[in-house]
């Protein structure tokens, strides 16, 4: 064992950071922002996203139909959504609980919300629609 062994630490470089600020010196050198994935309609993740668009959510007052708000939040984070959390105390809760809200300043979240407002379609949905149209043509037969 070495006498002067120091633990090695590494720090992420500025380019490794997920969020870049708007005052970057050379914004054209930043990687392109990929919009967060829109959850499939009718899923708990989609319901949670709709609730978060309306305002902060916590498990005690969650308007959705489930008891696993944290799990749905994790799914949204995995899809690339920026979500902020803070601890709050609620009457009837023995300990602090998490309150979640959308981070509208997050580049991926902002891009997804902008695309949604512009009426774009999710690529997964577009592929499914194209496949369904092809199946319908094959089942009905092409007149010829």
Q: What percentage of the chain carries pLDDT values higher than 90?
A: 44
Nearest to 45 by CA among 14, 70, 20: 70
Please indicate, yes or no, if residue 29 is contained in any of the structural domains. no
Please indicate, yes or no, if residue 68 is contained in any of the structural domains. yes
Any idea what the CATH number is for the domain that residue 42 is in? 1.10.10
Domain residue limits at 94: 38-104+122-139
Three-state DSSP at 68 gives coil
Nearest to 36 by CA among 117, 115, 120, 142: 115
Please indicate, yes or no, if residue 129 is contained in any of the structural domains. yes
How many domains in the chain?
1
Mean pLDDT, rounded, for 105-125: 77
Cα 69 from chain centroid (whole Å): 14
Please indicate, yes or no, if residue 82 is contained in any of the structural domains. yes
Please indicate, yes or no, if residue 5 is contained in any of the structural domains. no
pLDDT tens digits for range 49-108: 999 999 999 988 876 566 789 999 999 999 999 999 999 998 888 899 999 999 999 999
Mean pLDDT of the chain: 80
Going by pLDDT thresholds of 50, 70 and 90, the confidence category of residue 132 is: confident
């Amino acid at each position: 064992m070495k006498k002067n062994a120091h633990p090695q630490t590494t720090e992420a470089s500025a380019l490794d950071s997920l969020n870049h600020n708007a005052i970057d010196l050379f914004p054209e050198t930043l990687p392109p922002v990929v919009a967060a994935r829109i959850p499939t309609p009718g899923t708990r993740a989609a319901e949670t996203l709709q609730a978060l668009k309306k305002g902060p959510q916590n498990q005690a007052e969650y308007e959705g139909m489930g008891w696993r708000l944290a799990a749905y939040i994790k799914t949204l984070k995995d899809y690339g959504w920026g979500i902020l959390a803070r601890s709050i105390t609620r009457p009837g809760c023995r300990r602090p609980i998490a309150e979640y809200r959308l981070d509208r300043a997050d580049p991926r979240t902002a891009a997804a919300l902008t695309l949604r407002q512009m009426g774009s379609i999710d690529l997964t949905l577009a592929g499914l629609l194209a496949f369904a149209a092809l199946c319908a043509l094959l089942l009905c037969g092409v007149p010829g």
